[in-house]
């Protein structure tokens, strides 16, 4: 890492509550792009949403805190955060799926 370069981190978040069918992933993608974060937001079969967030440490922390807010129609009841696996290739952009 170069001196003065902010540390880059990656987090995987599992967001539960009313988060599917309420524009949650698209809203998260917009917020991630505003913060310069790459990764993805995708629906899981159990009704939760998986978020991968990769970027500067401070931006990822702000984004992870924002996950509790979500879209206007969502109702988040839990956000479980873990470190992404070592060796994860940083995504080029933030996508939804």
What tokens were used for 3?
A: 């001196």
Catalytic residue list contains 25: yes
Q: How far is CA 71 from CA 8, 21, 25, 67, 87, in A?
A: 26, 10, 8, 9, 31
Out of 2, 25, 31, 42, the active site residue is: 25
Point out the catalytic residue in the list 11, 14, 42, 43: 43
For residue 20, give both structure tokens: 């599917």
Q: Is 14 a catalytic residue?
A: no
By annotation, the residues acting in catalysis are: 25, 43
């Amino acid at each position: 890492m170069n001196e003065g370069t902010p540390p880059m981190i990656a987090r995987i978040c599992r967001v539960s509550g009313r988060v599917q069918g309420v524009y949650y992933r698209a809203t998260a993608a917009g917020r991630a792009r505003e913060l310069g974060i790459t990764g993805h937001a995708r629906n899981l079969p159990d009704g939760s949403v998986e978020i991968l967030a990769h970027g500067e440490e401070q931006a990822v922390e702000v984004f992870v805190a924002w996950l509790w807010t979500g879209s206007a129609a969502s109702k988040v009841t839990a956000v479980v955060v873990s470190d992404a696996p070592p060796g994860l290739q940083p995504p080029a952009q933030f996508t939804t799926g």
